[in-house]
A = this chain, B = another copy of it.
Amino acid sequence: MITEIASSELPAGDAALLDALNGAYAAALDSQNWQGWIDLFTPDCSYAVYSLENVDAGLPLGYMIDDRHERLVDRVKFITEVWATTIEAYRTRHGIPRVATTRDADGTYRVRANVLVGYTESNGTPGMLVCGYYDDVVRMTADGPRFVRRTVYLDGTPARYLAYPL
């Protein structure tokens, strides 16, 4: 349950690692370090961005649906090569507070984190790009925690078109 304070059962070291994973995720995206972003997912990962409006209406549409690792690589190729000269660039700054954590029998973590993303275009004034939450499956690997599945649910419509992952 969302309101269960499951972190009480979290080993403290694992809680710190889960927070560090979200920190590294924010740092990678906000630095436009795309390979660093990919490196935070497992080889068998999936990544998707949906609006809650569509989810509530039972519609399968998503802003981004990367059902396997290769599609993350494709996404980065699009950003850095295909769209490179056409994207209207913007900077992002992620705040990702973890709000619920449970551990499965196999040691995998199910994590929910809110997300508020500030953004700026053309060195203008900042605004709110999106609000929403992450619903994640995280595996502890020899290299640290990694996303097996990261799904983003957006509260409404982004303030501008999304060129970069969230």
- Residues of chain A at the chain B interface (Cβ within 8 Å): 1-8, 10, 12-13, 15-17, 19-24, 26-28, 30-31, 33, 36-37, 39-40, 51-53, 91, 93-101, 112, 114-116, 118-133, 144-145, 155-159
Question: Are B16 and A123 in contact, CB atoms less than 8 angstroms apart?
Answer: no
Q: Give Cα A5 to B36, complex, Å.
A: 11
- Pick the contact of A95 from B1, B95, B130 — CB < 8 Å? B95
Question: Are A27 and B40 in contact, CB atoms less than 8 angstroms apart?
Answer: no
Q: Give Cα A61 to B162, complex, Å.
A: 31
Question: Are B26 and A99 in contact, CB atoms less than 8 angstroms apart?
Answer: yes
Question: Are A118 and B91 in contact, CB atoms less than 8 angstroms apart?
Answer: no
Known: A3-B40, A16-B12, A127-B128. A93 touches B155 (CB 8 A): yes
Question: Are B52 and A100 in contact, CB atoms less than 8 angstroms apart?
Answer: no
Question: Are A31 and B2 in contact, CB atoms less than 8 angstroms apart?
Answer: yes
Known: A26-B99, A99-B24, A126-B155. A91 touches B3 (CB 8 A): no
Question: Are A39 and B3 in contact, CB atoms less than 8 angstroms apart?
Answer: yes
Question: Are B16 and A13 in contact, CB atoms less than 8 angstroms apart?
Answer: no
B contact residues around A20 at 8 Å (CB): 5-8, 101
Question: Are A99 and B23 in contact, CB atoms less than 8 angstroms apart?
Answer: yes
Q: Give Cα A24 to B114, complex, Å.
A: 11
B contact residues around A98 at 8 Å (CB): 23
Q: Give Cα A8 to B140, complex, Å.
A: 12
